[in-house]
Amino acid sequence: MINKKILIVGGGPAGLMAADFASRSGVEVTLADSMPTFGRKFLMAGKSGLNLTMHEDDVTFQTRIIHNNNTIEKALEEFGPNEVIEWAKSLGIKTFVGSTGRVFPTEMKASPLLRNWISRLDELGVTRQNRWKLKSISNKVATFETPQGLLNKSADGIVLALGGASWPKLGSNGDWKSLFDPAELESFQASNCSFMVKWSIKMSKYFGQPLKSIKLSAGSQSSRGEIIISQKGIEGGGIYSLSAQLKKGEDLILDLLPDWDNDKILKLLTMPWGKSSSSNVLRKRLKLEPIKQAILREFAMDVFKEPALLTKSIKSLKIPLNGTGPIQTAISTSGGVKMGSIDENFMLRGRPGVFCAGEMLDWDAPTGGYLITTCLATGRMAGKRALQFVSYC
Ligand SMILES: Cc1cc2nc3c(=O)[nH]c(=O)nc-3n(C[C@H](O)[C@H](O)[C@H](O)COP(=O)(O)OP(=O)(O)OC[C@H]3O[C@@H](n4cnc5c(N)ncnc54)[C@H](O)[C@@H]3O)c2cc1C
């Protein structure tokens, strides 16, 4: 396919994967990004231990991706958890499965993987362009703002992988929505995000501290991850994984002693307290740390003298939430290009030859490697379909 050109805009996992696939068939591939380097959000994901995928069968995996048609499932059928592990291996990155089934690179970081991936794209002949910000697309001519001024780049096929709208300083700012007709878009919403809680002044000494060894539940979902108490509310892995349910209005329930059953707690609380303070009883008999006691007092102070009610609160403490935290700090966003705006080949219905992939599409998923795997799978499929498209045009 000499003389055919594919332009990929956005150098996160979805765009890099589109370039990886498309560059293997002799077409000229250019990968452009507005930032000075590629994969900044991907590198940020690696700071807390890059969770590439989840070790589970394809069908179970696909049920965790929330979307409203089966286009994404088809991409995941071709590139699911096993393929992610093989792909990492092909880049010289060994992975391991953690106790919860999450799959990480042995080194936990994203930088070695990203370095090897970019080297591979160089070997495949991909032309890399940084500091190119896409401003418009018309008739398969993309106009970029570059340090040298406006630049037009024509291509036979274009893949857009411009990311969601969280962590704007890393390039994923959602500014690209001006490239689209509003009818093609769904508004962005924070996902895998923090939630706001109105704490009393008494909680301020715990701001920044983790709450560990707890169980969180929202509707039918639960999580054993830790959370951090922040000035504005709660954040951390434990709450991110429940954000879809919490956004639907389910209550957040904390079990402060998930490994203790109700009877054991009730028995210990029913024994006479003598002159002991409630703090001492909770600390000595239940081993309840100060931060757990503080959150219990915050929302269940009125039941401290009632062992049965106190037991119930320890096992299922309702935390009143005041909405999601700022979208800028969310792990991911839902919203963006509506799934109905693309066809089954990830091509925009109104613009033949222009494909979309990754987090810029309107789907949602919990943390656990579901996000990166879906970005890789949709990026690969968009690259594949763009290649097929240019071979016929
Ligand atoms: C702190 C943190 C931890 C995370 N941890 C995990 C994890 O462990 N596992 C997991 O699965 N997911 C994780 N994620 C989410 C994951 O990083 C994202 O879902 C993923 O990076 C999205 O990939 P993408 O390629 O669609 O978009 P992005 O990675 O956001 O890349 C989009 C690219 O497009 C570029 N761009 C945007 N607009 C333009 C424009 N107009 N012109 C040119 N270029 C443009 C941007 O500069 C950016 O490089 C984490 C995210 C964060 C913030």
Kindly report, residue by residue over 259-292, the tens digit of the pLDDT.
999 999 999 999 999 999 999 999 999 999 999 9
Same domain assignment for residues 71 and 204: no
CB of 10 closer than 6 angstroms to any ligand 1 atom: yes
| Co-location of 135 and 224 in the same domain | no
Pocket test for ligand 1, best of 64, 85, 240, 372 (most atoms within 8 A of CB): 372
Q: Which domain holds residue 229?
A: 195-319
Residue 282: inside a domain = yes
Is 372 touching ligand 1 by the criterion CB < 6 Å?
yes
Predicted pLDDT of residue 393: 79
Check whether residue 312 and residue 342 sit in a common domain: no
Residues 313 and 354 in one domain: no
Does ligand 1 come within 6 angstroms of the Cβ of 359?
A: yes
Backbone angles phi, psi at 166, to 5 degrees: -115, 155
**How far is it, in rounded angstroms, from Cα 197 to Cα 386?**
46
**From the CB of 81, is ligand 1 less than 6 Å away?**
no
Measured CA to CA, the distance from residue 19 to residue 294 in angstroms comes to 51
Task: State in Å: Cα 207 to ligand 1 middle.
Answer: 28
Residues 155 and 221 placed together within one structural domain of the fold: no
Are 143 and 279 within one domain?
A: no
Q: Whose CA is nearest to atom 19 of ligand 1?
A: 371
Q: Which of 284, 319, 354 is the last residue of a domain?
A: 319
Ligand 1 atom with least separation from CA of 372: 11
Minimal CA–CA distance to 160: which of 290, 15, 52?
15
Does ligand 1 lie within 6 Å of residue 133's CB atom?
yes
Determine whether the shortest distance from the Cβ of 172 to ligand 1 is under 6 A: yes
Burial class (CB in 10 A: 0-12, 13-18, 19+), 42: buried
The verdict on residue 277 lying in a domain is yes
Question: For ligand 1, is residue 369 a contact (CB within 6 Å)?
Answer: yes
What is the number of structural domains in the chain?
2
Q: Is 34 in the pocket of ligand 1 (CB under 6 A)?
A: yes
User: Residue-wise pLDDT tens for the chain (393 aa)?
Assistant: 568 999 999 999 999 999 999 999 999 999 999 999 999 999 999 998 999 999 999 999 999 998 887 899 999 999 999 999 999 999 999 999 998 899 999 999 999 999 999 999 999 999 999 999 999 999 889 999 999 999 999 999 999 999 999 999 999 999 999 999 999 999 999 999 999 999 999 999 999 999 999 999 999 999 998 999 999 999 998 999 899 899 989 999 999 999 999 999 999 999 999 999 999 999 999 999 999 999 999 999 999 989 999 999 999 999 999 999 999 999 999 999 999 999 999 999 999 999 999 999 999 998 889 999 999 999 999 999 999 999 987
Smallest CA separation from ligand 1 atom 29, residue:
12
Give the SS3 label for residue 287: coil
Collapse the DSSP code of 125 into the 3-class scheme (helix H, G, I; strand E, B; otherwise coil) and give the result: coil
My answer on whether 38 and 95 are in the same domain is yes
Whether residue 330 is contained in a domain is answered as no
Residue-wise DSSP of 25-65: GT-EEEEEESSSSS-HHHHHHHHT----EE-S-HHHHHHTS
The reported pLDDT for the residue numbered 1 is 57
237 lines ligand 1 (CB under 6 A): no
Closest listed residue to residue 176, CA positions, set 132, 117, 121:
132
Same domain, 312 and 344: no
pLDDT of residue 159: 98
Q: Is residue 326 part of a domain?
A: no
Residues in the chain: 393
CA nearest to 37, candidates 166, 176, 131: 131
Dihedral pair phi/psi, residue 279, rounded to 5°: -60, -45
Q: Where are the beta strands (DSSP E) in 199-337?
A: 210-211, 215-218, 221-223, 227-229, 233-235, 252-255, 317-319, 332-337
DSSP annotation of 66: B
Closest by Cα among 25, 32, 42, 33 to 88: 42
The SS3 call for residue 97 is: strand
DSSP assignment, residue 250?
Answer: P
Inside any domain, residue 311: yes
Among residues 291, 319, 347, the one where a domain terminates is 319
Residue 392 has a pLDDT of 84
Please name every residue paired with 337 in a beta bridge, in sequence order, or none if there are none: 185, 361
CATH number at residue 369: 3.50.50.60
The reply to whether 152 and 273 lie within a common domain is no
Residue 313 covered by a domain: yes
Determine the atom of ligand 1 nearest the C-alpha atom of 164.
30
User: Where a domain ends, among 289, 319, 349?
Assistant: 319
pLDDT in tens, 131-157: 999 999 998 899 999 999 999 999 999
N- to C-terminal Cα distance for the chain?
11
Q: Over the Cα atoms of the chain, what is R_g?
A: 24
Q: Which residues contact 59 (CB under 8 A, 6 or more apart)?
A: none
Residue 325 in domain: no
Question: Are residues 301 and 343 both part of a single domain?
Answer: no
CA atoms within 13 A on the CB side of 343: 11
Same domain, 244 and 365: no
Domain shared by 12 and 124, yes or no: yes
The reply to whether 104 falls in a domain is yes
